[in-house]
């Protein structure tokens, strides 16, 4: 139910971010190249069935976050297409969508809205969300005052209370203290057992081995392999050792 067909993503590099209008025109007239391209993803094709838990592994810069962005619909691929059936809840960065100045309560509603929940839904689940994130008593505290662990707990709590058809997690299961990690893994299993298709990026190999039904290994934007969890994890660890 997730089909990724021949997806490539080209990033535009160069100092374009700091370019002023004047410089832009000067360079254009001189015909100097303004931008360089970087192929972050190189012809990626894979399919995931409903209810699978795909783990994406690879060294830093291999394109893991990029493929997640493409899957979440945030970044359109330069070539190829992505087909996903159902609602998607992406958690790509734990403090994304939260506003530092607003209180925890206000943030729950704002972030919830950004995740696509309705006001009614958030109000109903509000108590549970607060309890799961262990933040009762902190509801009127400004978000920026929370510790990073608390922020992560809140973000995870919020996103796990929806039951999306597809859940996308970017290295977010490795946060919090051991107690919370156990809780979140358990919650993940609940979601997983209820049929939520999940895509998970992680560097914690033990997690990948334990939880994932399938693994995709990316290196330098290219697919190194897709398939059996144990096999690919072993290959990947071998590769990392030789580096």
Closer to other proteins by CB, 165 or 235: give it. 165
d(CA 10, CA 104) in angstroms, rounded, equals 37
For residue 60, the minimal CB distance to other proteins (Å) is 18
Ordered DSSP codes for 135-171: -TT-TTSBGGGS-HHHHHHHHHHHHHTS--SEEEEES
Q: Which of 53, 55, 62, 72 binds other proteins (CB under 8 A)?
A: 72
Q: Which of 61, 73, 86, 195 binds other proteins (CB under 8 A)?
A: 73
Structure-token match 């993803």, residue found: 41
Give the interface segment with other proteins, choosing from 116-124, 146-154, 199-207, 219-227 (CB under 8 A): 116-124
Q: Is 69 in the site for other proteins (CB under 8 A)?
A: yes
d(CA 182, CA 52) in angstroms, rounded, equals 21
Chain mean position to CA 240: 23
Pairing of strands 2-13, 36-48: antiparallel
Number of residues that bind other proteins (CB under 8 A): 34
Residue 26, classed as helix, strand or coil, is helix
Query: Is residue 45 within 8 Å of 216, Cβ to Cβ?
Result: no
Give the interface segment with other proteins, choosing from 51-59, 91-99, 129-137, 220-228 (CB under 8 A): 91-99
Q: Is 17 in the site for other proteins (CB under 8 A)?
A: yes
* Tokens, residue 15: 């100092």
Q: Which of residues 118-177 bind other proteins (CB under 8 A)?
A: 118-119
* Tokens, residue 83: 């087909």
Structure-token match 């071998």, residue found: 238
For residue 39, the minimal CB distance to other proteins (Å) is 13
Window 175-194: contact mask with other proteins (x via CB under 8 A): --------------------
Q: Which residues bind other proteins (CB under 8 A)?
A: 11-12, 16-22, 24, 69, 72-76, 88, 90, 92-93, 96-97, 99, 101-102, 106, 109-110, 113-116, 118-119
């Amino acid at each position: 139910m997730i089909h990724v067909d021949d997806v490539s993503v080209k990033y535009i590099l160069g100092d374009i971010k700091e370019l002023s209008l004047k410089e832009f025109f000067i360079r254009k007239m001189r015909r100097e190249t303004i931008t360089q391209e970087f192929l972050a993803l190189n012809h990626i094709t894979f399919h995931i069935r409903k209810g699978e838990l795909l783990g994406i592994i690879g060294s830093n810069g291999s394109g893991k976050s990029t493929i997640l962005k493409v899957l979440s619909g945030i970044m359109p691929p330069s070539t190829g297409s992505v087909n996903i059936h159902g609602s998607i809840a992406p958690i790509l960065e734990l403090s994304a969508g939260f506003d530092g100045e607003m209180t925890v309560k206000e943030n729950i509603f704002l972030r919830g809205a950004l995740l696509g929940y309705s006001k009614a839904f958030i109000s109903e689940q509000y108590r549970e969300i607060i309890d799961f994130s262990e933040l009762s008593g902190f509801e009127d505290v400004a978000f920026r005052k929370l510790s990073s662990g608390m922020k992560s707990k809140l973000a995870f709590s919020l996103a796990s209370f929806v039951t999306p058809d597809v859940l996308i997690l970017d290295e977010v299961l490795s946060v919090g203290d051991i107690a919370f990690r156990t809780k979140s893994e358990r919650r993940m299993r609940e979601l997983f057992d209820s049929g939520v298709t999940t895509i998970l990026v992680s560097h914690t190999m033990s997690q990948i081995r334990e939880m994932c039904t399938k693994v995709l290994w990316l290196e330098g934007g290219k697919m190194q392999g897709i398939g059996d969890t144990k096999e690919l994890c072993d290959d990947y660890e071998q590769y990392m050792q030789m580096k």
